[in-house]
Structure 1
Amino acid sequence: MADDWNKMDPKNLLEAYLQLSKHRLTLLITSTAVGGFMMAPAAFDASTFAACAIGTTLLSASANACNHLLEAPYDAQMKRTQSRVLVIHRFSPLHALTFAGATAASGLSILWIGCNPITGILGILNLGIYAGVYTPLKRYHIGCTWAGAVVGAIPPLMGYTAVTGVIDPAVLVLGTILYSWQFPHFNGLSWNLRGDYSRAGYRVMCVTDEDLCRRTTIRHALALIGLCSIAAPISHLTTWGFAVDSLPLNAVMLYLSYKFYRNPDAKTSRTLFRFSLLYLPLIMVLMVISNQGRNPNEFKNLHTLAPDNSVTNKLLPGSLSSVPSPVDIKVRPRITFD
């Protein structure tokens, strides 16, 4: 029974922590951060990569533990979530809170020290949005879906900034691709769970505005085409080859989104959701492959901030090579006469 505390068996403790962390979701989030890391225009560094992946994983685990804490009373009302660890009392709330705090502190420290401060700030910001905005907003306003899409867009920025230390137009395009992907993905998932969401009092799109749910799905499927085939190569995130190679994937996403828009039912929503799970890793792999043919000299030492001794160099946002500054300021000593 859910009212009885379950005795924690040490050999099952790891499994329980994985459930508290929502390990499948955490793996997905970490994979998008890794994708952002691989897209950064710089040489691969193993220690920075490890810090990025581990730090992102720990912060995601913390955010999901906070989500369990905040939603436990409502999870008990939904068939899909009735077996979660706090609902069945496998952990006390204090235990879960301690886990959330420990993983947040360690994840932030690893990102701050092993990568750079901007990556750590993005990570803790994302935790705050997920636990402090998205999770409580689900019970009060339809805007929770847009807040959740922002949460999904930040991890690839973390991976990219872990290498470059800057946020430029290229990585903003990458984040926007992840942002738009969230709508076909979540709308396809949530459509068949409308009864559960309604019983728990969640004001998500599929419950409060079914027409808007259908419209946003097809709008963002269209947006993905423009982002991948126009914005990505223009911002130098990818090559024009990717613009062409991504068209089949985006065409299928648009087709399935259109079928869901025209006839939203269990079959079309489930098909759309399942394809969205396939779409994300494939589009990220295509991006990485598209950059493999570039001149290695374009990437070399791009993340080095030290200026050249003779000419002040600057990086144009989204560019792959340094250009001389149009203004070279030299300070001359002032001559005085006594």
Structure 2
Amino acid sequence: MSTLIAEWEKQDAVILIYPHEKTDWNYNLLKVRLFYHKLVEQFVKFGKVILIIPENMDFQNELDLNYDNLIFLQAKTNDTWIRDNGPIFIKKNNNYVFLNFKFNGWGNRFNFEFDNELNDKLFLSGIFGKNVEKRNINFVLEGGSIDHNSEGVILTTQSCLLNKNRNPQYSKETIEKLFSSIFEHKKILWLKYGKLMGDHTDSHIDMLAKFANKDVIVYSKHLNPNYPYYNELNLMEKELSNFRNHNGKQFDLIPLFLPEIRDKKGNFLPATYTNFFIFNNAVFVPIYCSKEDEHAIDIFEKIFSDKLVIPIDSRILVTQGGSLHCATNNIPHGFLGQ
């Protein structure tokens, strides 16, 4: 049986892509690099960190990062959102499988040539165990577009997976058949509604709703009726309340109230707390120096009473449309070589 591995299960490492001058971070490179340095400093306390850096970077002389748990890999990249162009990992019986889906820059919105090739380099880097096999799949799928509860339930959005800018030849039914052959899950829950202002992903699920454990879904809700997608998010909330797990049981739903974060021109940015990231004994929660931060932190501390909840000021990440979960990719336990 193929099994998607939940973030709350034991992890070997987390992957990050270091921002460089040929990414969209060029205008703010020093500031975002300092942010990544702080991320690495936090993450290495809970497991190994794989940091992908430019091929021409001399990390020993250029980067002031020296941790036993830090591994550098050199590769060409277009951007930093490793959740979406990186691998998806499954266990198939006792075999460990590295899934390499296609990546097309979120529907051909951005350059993606190097990002689409990254998994090949990553797999050949030597960091994975000999028991890990790689499987290439001719289907465009971003990691942030699906979520799962470790018990056979996948959560996703119609607006992303059924968008003609990804896989125009696939219907909902053919996607379900493909996923069944790969993941051997029990149920797919498709959200029809749910949008955030400033989101370039066609509504990735990790921006809207995410499993905190097998029974609990946290989701984005706005308290301001003037927010452009206020009604849309309320319709999403109603959909979630009608969803059931594979045994017919309703999920426990917990709202996370969206902060109103805007760019310098006054445009809404897709700041969301559902873009949290679990790494072994820690839960990293994006915060935005907003009044809603305290409520979000309180919710996560109640859900994850057995883990350390660490708030991360993610205002700089959201200027480029993503947050913590988008910028990270988990390597589950058993995949790294010894």
Q: Same fold (TM over 0.5)?
A: no
Q: Which has the higher strand share?
A: 2
Greater relative contact order (CA < 8 Å, ≥ 6 in sequence): 2
Which is higher, the Rg of structure 1 or of structure 2? Answer: 1
